Amino acid sequence: MPNYHIQTYGCQMNYSDTERMESYLQALGYKKTSTFKTADLILFNTCSVRQHAEDRVTGHMREIGKIKRKKPNLIVVIAGCMVRKSSSRYSSKRDKLFNAMNELDIALRTEELPRLAGLAREINPKIKIPEIKEESLEDYFCITPTHTSHQSKAQAFIAISNGCDKFCTYCIVPYSRGREKSRDINDILMEANELVENGCKEITLIGQTVNSYGLSKYDKEKQFFKDLKRKYPKKEPFVYLLEELDKLHAKGLQRVRFTSSHPKDMSDQLIKAMAKLKTQMPYLHLPLQSGDNSTLKRMNRTYTTAQYRKIIQKLRKTIPDISISTDIIVGFCGETDKEFKNTCKFFDEMDFEHAYLAQYSKRAGTTAARFIKDDVPEKVKNERWHNLNDILLRKKSKKAHERFLGKTVNVLVENQKGKTCFGRSEHFKIVQFKSGRRLLGQIVTVKITKAKEWILEGELA
Ligand code: SF4
């Protein structure tokens, strides 16, 4: 039986995609292996949001080249955000990646995963790949994921949409993953139901902009969304989905999280649902990217700071103890000192409890790379990142943690090394505590005794 090895980079969506890739490869007769050397097929599921992520993949190619010389039938695949065109080294129209990587055999767009077997046969017509029912693979979402990203069955990702229609100028996703397409709600609910029956307590709904679920031009043509609109004319599809998932609380589902959301689709209806539903947690990740209106405009984020502020105010009014985190890009094209200061000021005002900070890096194929000059020196980007991280973020995170001191929180244990357990609280805070018992996958009550910058420490209550 041939072996496969997958290396995954990037966001939770990529990890969720890897679960489908594993399932597909297993259906083709491949078995999982943990090293490059023992693999007959190596797949890199890539991210190209930052240059650094791409460099890590290209950095492996020398080692792969050495293995290939000893093992000429080894198939090397790159999938994910680095790929524009699904193709093999023998295809007449090939992805540009082939020009830079001699070791590469197949480039694969994620949503075209069902084409992998055909492309592998282009590489080696004699390859022993058992035929599998093509109709079961027509639609990417029809491939059942392995749900192996988490250490226990208590947690799972469910992909609800793929692609994006927002076209932020710095982002490659609308080109690499294509236009936004949402998955049929019945399939999502069936998958969720099966997971919960097998002991799942926390589901994270995944998509590029999950809260625009069912709203894209493509979705509006789908019969299911048409029927939903006819039945509940005022109900937003994403809210309907959260309500249906909430019914699984009776069967044991405790938590439903979702990521990422776009401020443009953060509606009043959704905020009310988050406050009301039993499985909704008091936490939201809402990417801001910049706290300056001119920068936001150049990024094509389609909202202003005033509109963003209004959403945060509504969230805090409706869910008073909610924790809010965000994403910020510093050093975007044309960002002046004044614009950066505006971002710091707005960050402070919004009182974010956590943030994922990135320094802008030019990505080939994006609107920004083509039309906007990347004119902020790397040194300045670096300084701005440290300013935001060291002065504001660390302070905010510590302050946010201190509010839990002496209180009890419910923690879903995600990892256990010896007697040390790690997990997330309702507010998505990382909590560490000790226990002699095996608690992986359980929700336990922990009394918080220490509030550090990035984690909370406590003891079993
Ligand atoms: S919303 Fe913007 S940043 Fe997010 S995936 Fe879409 S284009 Fe990229």
What spacing in Å lies between the alpha carbon of 167 and ligand 1's midpoint? 6
Q: Quick one: 117 and 261 in the same domain?
A: no
Identify the band that residue 374 occupies on the pLDDT scale cut at 50, 70 and 90: very high
The kind and range of the H/E element at 231 are helix 223-231
Nearest-CA residue for ligand 1 atom 1 is: 166
pLDDT tens across 14-66, in order? 999 999 999 999 988 899 999 999 999 999 999 877 777 788 888 999 899 99
Give the residue, by CA position, lying nearest to ligand 1 atom 5. 208
- Report the nearest atom of ligand 1 relative to the CA of 208: 5
Residues with CB under 6 A from ligand 1: 164, 166-168, 171, 173-174, 208-209, 262
- Among 165, 166, 289, which residue has the most ligand 1 atoms within 8 Å of its CB, making it the best to mutate? 166
- Distance (Å, rounded) from C-alpha 245 to C-alpha 235? 15
Q: Does one domain contain both 115 and 167?
A: no
- Mean of the pLDDT values across residues 243-254? 98
Contact by Cβ (8 Å): 291, 345: yes
Domain with residue 435: its CATH number is 2.40.50.140
Lowest-confidence pick of 82-96, 127-141, 322-336: 127-141
What is the whole-number distance in angstroms between the Cα of residue 15 and the centre of ligand 1?
18
Q: Based on the domain organization, do 232 and 328 belong to the same domain?
A: yes
User: If you ran DSSP here, which 8-state letter would residue 145 be given?
Assistant: P
Distance between first and last Cα of the chain = 49
Cα(68) to ligand 1 centroid in Å equals 37
Place of tokens 């890897």: 18
Question: What is the DSSP track for 360-394?
Answer: ----TTSHHHHHS---S-HHHHHHHHHIIIIIIIH
Q: What was the pLDDT predicted at 138? A: 60
Record the pTM: 0.93
Q: Which residues contact 212 (CB under 8 A, 6 or more apart)?
A: 161, 165, 180, 238, 262, 264, 265
How many Å lie between the centroid of ligand 1 and the Cα of residue 173? 6
Rounded Cα distance between 301 and 290, Å, is 9
431 and 366 in a common domain: no
- What is the reported pLDDT for 130? 64
Full residue range of the structural domain in which residue 428 is found:
408-460
Which of 356, 386, 402 is where one domain is finished? 402
Q: Report the nearest atom of ligand 1 relative to the CA of 289.
A: 3
**Number of compact structural domains in the chain:** 3
Alpha carbon distance 275, 282 (integer Å)? 8
Which of these three, 95, 115, 137, is where a domain ends?
137
Residues 195 and 102 in one domain: no
Instruction: Indicate whether 57 and 176 sit together in one domain.
Output: no
Q: Do 381 and 415 sit in the same domain of this protein?
A: no
Phi then psi for residue 283, to 5 deg, are -150, 140
- The CATH code of the domain that includes 49 is 3.40.50.12160
User: In which band, very low, low, confident or very high, does the pLDDT at 392 lie, cut at 50, 70 and 90?
Assistant: confident
Question: What is the rounded average pLDDT of the residues 204-225?
Answer: 96
- Here the CATH number for the domain that contains residue 262 is 3.80.30.20
- Same domain, yes or no, for 101 and 201? no
Domain boundary among 137, 164, 180: 137
Which residue lies with its CA nearest to atom 4 of ligand 1?
A: 208
The pLDDT tens digits of the residues spanning 327-354 come to 999 999 999 999 999 999 999 999 999 9
Same domain, 394 and 419: no
Same domain, 438 and 356: no
Question: Are both 178 and 70 inside the same structural domain?
Answer: no
Residues 390 and 283 in one domain: yes
Backbone angles phi, psi at 312, to 5 degrees: -65, -40
Question: Which is higher by pLDDT, 436 or 127?
Answer: 436
Query: DSSP of 401-438, one letter per residue?
Result: HHTTTT-EEEEEEEEEETTEEEEE-TT--EEEEE-SS-
Mean pLDDT of 351-361: 96
Question: In which band, very low, low, confident or very high, does the pLDDT at 193 lie, cut at 50, 70 and 90?
Answer: very high
Whole-number average pLDDT of the chain = 94
Instruction: Kindly give the distance from the C-alpha atom of residue 164 to the centroid of ligand 1, in angstroms, as a whole number.
Output: 6
Distance 184 CA to ligand 1 centre (A): 22
Residue of 47, 49, 171 to test ligand 1 pocket, by largest number of atoms within 8 Å of CB: 171
Q: What is residue 131's predicted lDDT score, i.e. its pLDDT?
A: 61
User: How far does residue 433's CA lie from ligand 1's centre (Å)?
Assistant: 36
> What is the reported pLDDT for 125?
82
